[in-house]
Amino acid sequence: MPRQQLIDELPIPPDHLTEIVTATLPEPVAELSDEYDRVVGDRDQFLWQWIYTLFPSFTLSSVSAEYAEPARIQKTILTMFVTLLDDLAEKGHDQKTLEEACQIPYRPETVNPDRKGVDTEQLRYIQRVWSAFEDGIQDAPKHDDYRDIFDCDLRQTLIGIEYSRVLNDHVEIANMAGIEHYDPHNMLMFPYAGVDLMFSPSFDDSDLSTVRSVIWELQRMARIGNWTTTWERELGEGDYTAGPVIYSLQEGLISMEDLNPDDENAIKRVTEQIRSHGIEDRFISEWEERYEAVKERQERADSVDLDSFVEGMRTVLAYQLAARGKK
């Protein structure tokens, strides 16, 4: 299905962009957003408003009403943390600062902001973002039950970010098998679910295997939606990790020699080549196939509404497509 036809059929409120840009970020997020503007400034506040607005569409129904807002806030802060690391890898190509930042969740005592070549100010800011996340989940009713799983899932995200850095520095390793294995973890679907479960006092652990089985598919779908709406911007930033770009390289539609962010004409030629071969539609078709397949699965969970969770991915895709070029 062509992208515009899919947009027409997806549940996008007519005033969705107004809803996002007028969203009031809660105090912990607003403070970090203001500091981000001062310290980093690469991203517009729109991104944080966008994900904060979107979270209710794909939050596990097991999150009790009293904890819905704390879970939403902490997932937004987690998004900020991972975005900062991802941008170090993909936009800044800053290996040393990234190496130190990746230690923050697991070995904070080893982090060295004064290491030569490290962006000290940005690294200290990343530490403050992580501290805000930690502080907000410590008292979650099931924090201790799911923290170990969350930590494991976040490690996969950090490995995915490191793979992106290596790929951008060595484009010759690019292939779809690699990007499909590593890159979906950057969408944080498993860590988000981990936060939800920490705030789900009535969740039944016997449903965990089923929930995670479904998330494997949803994570791939979220990645596809992101790929198809950010690849053009990323090309100009020297980031070549989006599926449409990797697929086009693998199929010989473009060459590594064409990937020069300092050559505007080369980037335009690559962009037109990818567009002319309908590569985005190929990925959107894959998204549809995965969506229909996961809806047809017979898995059930008593303590969480899987159908609404899966259905929420339509809203996620709708907002990804509608916010193209704005995040």
Mean pLDDT, residues 42-62 taken together:
94
Q: In this model, does residue 14 exceed pLDDT 70?
A: no
Phi, psi at 324, each rounded to 5°:
-55, 130
Let me know: does 246 contact 99? Beta carbons within 8 Å.
Answer: no
Please give the model's pTM, rounded to 2 decimal places: 0.94
Q: In this model, does residue 82 exceed pLDDT 80?
A: yes
Residue type for position 258: D
Task: Look up tokens 């890898």; give the residue.
Answer: 89
According to the model, what pLDDT value does residue 153 have?
A: 98
111 closest CA partner among 100, 121, 119: 100
According to the model, what pLDDT value does residue 12 have?
A: 63
Let me know: does 185 contact 160? Beta carbons within 8 Å.
Answer: yes
> C-alpha dihedral over 230, 192, 168, 256, to 10 degrees?
-50
Eight-class DSSP state of 110: G
Mean pLDDT, residues 154-177 taken together:
95
> Right CATH number for 3-322 from 3.20.20.70, 3.65.10.10, 1.10.600.10, 3.10.290.10?
1.10.600.10
pLDDT digits (tens, 9 = 90+) for 277-326: 999 999 999 999 999 999 998 888 999 999 999 999 998 998 888 777 77
d(CA 59, CA 83): 20
Sequence-distant (≥ 6) Cβ neighbours of residue 41 within 8 angstroms: none
What is the rounded end-to-end Cα distance, in angstroms, of the chain?
Answer: 24
According to the model, what pLDDT value does residue 7 have?
A: 61
* Encoded tokens for 94: 């800053």
According to the model, what pLDDT value does residue 327 have?
A: 73
pLDDT digits (tens, 9 = 90+) for 120-140: 999 999 999 999 999 999 999
